[in-house]
Structure 1
């Protein structure tokens, strides 16, 4: 099934937008280009489709491991979120190169990309969590074979005090790691989006606009990454009970600091 933004908006809001606005939205999300990628790879498995999408987007990555990750354990991989799209594709692809069963926690809007649905664990970031989503989420965490990837910030990185970094991470992965007896692996992805994206964010904040308008630019930002090669570092597995901190929030901050410290292991 191809992407139809008009139908998606109607189903989620029960409203019909003017045709001119739909055309603007279609162009903003690169609907034609995305549908071409979907059409040309619809016969592929999810793992093959990710490689196909990265190839079509001409996005490459290089893995720099700072520690060995045993294949016989269960993990929650937690990463910074600089891109809001490309990072998820790259890390998921890297994990599929080592593990046969991988699930990535994503905004449920991405469930409209049919070839990748088997890899996604959907959550609703802009409303009440659907009971079916909740069941899928907990079943994935409870799985004895599935490795989990999540972006604890929930949103892609923003610019604060002159630096691009994630907003505060949510501590749910700490609680999940304890509940489902999983190790935590911090991951760092090197990169930024365009100045335009961060400038719009700053203007929105300055004007007191709460609506996340820059979200509409993420598809275009994905296509702007064409021709680039990104570096990714995987840290050492951590036992949630041994992470520094007296509460899930404090432990979460410690893991975030560890993830960002992995940048220092990258060669200049």
Structure 2
């Protein structure tokens, strides 16, 4: 069983201390420090906890102290259940607040750690929850900073107290010391959103008065303060999520953004609107047992060779599946700058459209989905307004007559972890299996989106290329919101997309996008490759303000012109649909 060794800590932090003075002086220093920081009581705690580590150790500590934190259910729901995350908070207690934060976040996700002073690494029972940061050694800091970045890139949640030290008594009350810029730097480097949290708590008056005399005396008193929290509690208040783009796109210096973030935290305390643009945290996952139960009520289309299944799902019999689709859809779209900013991405159309769902049997989770609407049935029951794309385009009567025997498709997504798999192919095979049961369907049509995170020149290049080589009759549909490019951007595009050959322009497009660190969006490429020339048409281009101002292309695919190799690829799956 581990114990805190004050002599070992002093030797590590003050090299040469015990060589500088006679042994009896060294022993006096050690004994005084043991008394002052209550080492014996700390070690008694460790003995009670036994071999417990990590979150179990924190639970044992809180039970022994009869200490608790208070967090509302609505605040708990603001904690993202997955994905890289920086959690930023004030630091009122200097010890228990960090443990409370770890325990609170772990109620939603277990992959949470806190950036802490490297001295705390001496507490082996908690070391697995710490990412050490030595504020005094630049050499150590470099590797430790890389460790923090690596954890975020591994989609973990990292707690940072930007003050680095416990709050002190100031003229304005109990407040944090000056914040360091690390949190915003890490957000910019890793594109991790920031969750602002305010902790309501305070230390004793003796602590604050001692800190006024000497800040180091206050630091040494923190273990004493911990034991004064017996039978106590703190309140954790959580603000809305600040997307990484808020900091990344800001013209302000990082130091100024840090000061604003500091003020933003205290706005959270006062239940006032913050200083940064925020978005709602995505709802937490639906329980897997509910998803499995819903699939039992749904129709199986086909199986894949690697333990995945393709279903046709409808809201009436599988509401939990549709709810989880809306969660994953928002989660996935946010990663490419197209999220709605709401807690989940669901609209009225999800209630009566069908959904092709790819299910991973091994992990019991939805891999991805594609939404299908039988245009004839929707027009018959709801009229033109019942079609999703009528909210983006003014669809002419000629067009509506043309697509009467068709499927409106869209709102597709693949979970990020499956992006490099065959998931999209499987879903398209599911669409093919579905279509094989409805030979009267002549067209696929719908909206493919182009993220607003693409720079103007990239968006203009893509619009120009697909309008030029896959044109449709623009009189069939008019966008309700028009995207306009500047004359300069259009002139630059004309210098790149200028060839009289599709393949040459395609190469020019790829080279231009690659120079910007981008590529052609997958669905643009897939739809254009699906048919022989003229079978896929890009009819109109609009803007979807509900999806973070992404550009939407209205496409029409003539199923009679699908290439033979694509029929073999997507129509060969045996369908179980009856």
Q: Structure 1 length normalisation: TM-score?
A: 0.89
Aligned to 1:24: 32
Pick which of 69-78 and 184-193 moved more: 69-78
Shift in Å, 1:234: 1.1
1:259 equivalent in alignment to 2:265: yes
CA contact (8 A) 1:122 1:137 kept: no
- Aligned match of 2:61: 53
Which whole-Å CA distance do the structure 1 matches of 2:152 and 2:78 have between them? 22
> Deviation of residue 48 (structure 1)?
0.7
Alpha-carbon distance, 1:9 to partner: 0.8
Confirm or deny: 8 A CA contact 1:121 1:140 kept in the other structure.
no
Relative to structure 1, the CA distance from residue 251 to residue 132 in structure 2 (aligned partners, 3 Å threshold; closer, same or farther) is closer
- Where do 1:148-227 residues align within 5 Å? 148-204=158-214, 212-227=216-231
Aligned residue in 2 for 1:7 = 8
Higher Cα Rg: structure 1 or 2? 2
Taking a change above 3 Å as real, the CA distance of residues 237 and 129 of structure 1, as seen in their structure-2 partners, is farther
Paired with 1:226 and 1:41, the residues of 2 have a C-alpha distance of 17
1:106 correspondence with 2:116: yes
Q: Does 1:125 align with 2:130?
A: no
Q: Kindly provide the CA deviation profile for residues 141-169 of structure 1, in whole angstroms up to 9, marking residues without a partner as x.
A: 3222x210010011111111151100121
Work out whether 1:34 is the aligned partner of 2:45: no
TM-score by length of 2: 0.43
Q: Structure 2: how far apart are the matches of 1:104 and 1:253? A: 21
Query: More deviation in 232-241 or 84-93?
Result: 232-241
SS of residue matched to 2:241: coil
CA distance in 1, matches of 2:120, 2:266: 26
State the distance in 1 between where 2:163 and 2:52 align: 31
Cα gap change, 1:197/1:127 in structure 2, threshold over 3 Å: closer, same or farther?
farther
Q: Distance in 2 between matches of 1:123 and 1:182?
A: 19
Of 223, 234, 240, which residue of structure 2 is paired with 1:236? 240
Residues 83-137 of structure 1 deviation map (CA, whole Å, 9 limit, x = unaligned): 1101001011111111121110001100010011111000113344515534433
Residues 158 and 164 of structure 1 are in contact (CA less than 8 Å); yes or no, is this contact kept in structure 2? yes
Superposed displacement of residue 224, structure 1 = 1.1
Aligned length: 259
Q: Distance in 2 between matches of 1:79 and 1:215?
A: 19
8 Å CA contact 1:170–1:252 kept in 2: the answer is yes
Distance 1:125 1:221 in 2: 23
Name which of structure 1's ranges 109-118 and 123-132 shifts more when overlaid on structure 2: 123-132
Per-residue deviation, residues 15-42 of structure 1 (Å, max 9, x unmatched): 2252222111111221111112222223
Greater CA drift, 256-265 or 99-108: 256-265
2:89 and 2:198 in contact (8 A); partners too: yes
Q: CA deviation at 1:69?
A: 3.1
> Does 2:93 correspond to 1:87?
no
Aligned partners of 1:225 and 1:245: how far apart in 2?
A: 43
Counterparts of 2:40 and 2:217, CA distance in 1: 21
Of stretches 226-235 and 67-76 in structure 1, the one that deviates more from structure 2 is 67-76
Q: Structure 1: 5+ residue runs without aligned partners?
A: 205-210
CA contact (8 A) 2:191 2:245 kept: no
Q: Which moved more, 1:165-174 or 1:75-84?
A: 165-174
The answer on whether the counterparts of 1:79 and 1:152 sit within 8 Å (CA) in structure 2 is yes
For structure 2, the residue ranges without an aligned partner over 5 or more in a row are 19-24, 273-578
Q: Secondary structure at the match of 1:148?
A: strand
SS at match of 1:105: strand
Query: Equivalents in 1 of 2:26, 2:52: separation in Å?
Result: 35
Distance 1:112 1:42 in 2: 16
Deviates more, 1:221-230 or 1:119-128: 119-128
Give 1:143's match in structure 2, choosing from 125, 142, 154.
Answer: 154
Higher relative contact order (CA 8 A, sep 6+): 1
Which of 57, 73, 78 is equivalent to 2:83?
A: 73
